[in-house]
Amino acid sequence: MAEIAPRILAFDVFGTVVDWHGSIAAEVAQLFPEVDGDAFALAWREGYKPAMARVMSGELGWTRIDDLHRMILDDILPRFGLGALPENERRALNRVWHRLNAWPDSVEGLTRLKRRHTICTLSNGNIGLLTDMAKHAGLPWDCVLSAEVFRAYKPDPRTYLGVADVFDVAPAEVMLVAAHHDDLAAARQCGLLTAYIERPHEFGAARPKDVSPDPSNTLHARDFIDLAEQLGL
């Protein structure tokens, strides 16, 4: 695969680098044993795209993901019998997104990939969230880029093209690495290379997702270590 030599590897984060479902489900179950942590994690994530759509449509002004997560949290707490949760506990719980655990291959794989490529995030998460997460999980980013930098959420072209602009490279010198085909398709439309990563248990072991290859992607890898090997590292 020597002919595939992107200068920049830009990574989706939630589900691709970190296990949001497992991390949130475990913490909620520990804090509130009476609550189904699995269902809580799924309900919180289900509110993500509708909340972003309100920003993208102009109904809401620019809003950080931390604040969108809090809006969704306040909405779902009563459904799980936690409507009376005090403000300080709500703030603390909302920051669970800052301390998500990495998939087992993430740190080793990123460290290998970093030997040759510049590695950065390209996430809808805000900069503070992504930085805290990197500290928590030991993620060795060269740079943290976020929708917050571009004031636009993926799949807005400004996010993908913004990475190329930040590093002063052509879009074809950037590879988006993600576990979501829709994200990758939007990146390809902007001229980026794309690598799909299999994360079959993103939504929990009980809900394995289809990780079949899409021939439109530049690469398809089992995990980050496999991606490093395919890139000759």
Residue 125 has pLDDT above 90, yes or no: yes
Structure tokens given for 8: 């920049």
Domains and CATH numbers, the chain: 8-19+100-230 (3.40.50.1000), 20-98 (1.10.150.240)
Residue 158: what pLDDT? 96
Residue 1: what pLDDT? 40
Which tens digit of pLDDT belongs to each residue from 70-108? 999 999 999 999 999 999 999 999 999 999 999 999 999
Structure confidence at residue 61 as a pLDDT band (50, 70, 90):
confident
Q: How many helices (H) and strands (E) does the chain have?
A: 11, 6
Which tens digit of pLDDT belongs to each residue from 126-153? 999 999 999 999 999 999 999 999 999 9
Which tens digit of pLDDT belongs to each residue from 160-194? 999 999 999 999 999 999 999 999 999 999 999 99
Q: For residue 8, which phi and psi values (nearest 5 degrees)?
A: -120, 130
Helix spans in 9-139 (H): 20-31, 37-46, 48-56, 65-76, 87-94, 106-114, 127-137
Q: Could you give the CA distance from residue 125 to residue 131 in angstroms, rounded to a whole number?
A: 10
Identify whether the C-beta of residue 187 lies closer than 8 Å to the C-beta of residue 207: no
Which tens digit of pLDDT belongs to each residue from 16-41? 999 999 999 999 999 999 999 999 99
Residue 33: what pLDDT? 95
Structure tokens given for 168: 């002063």
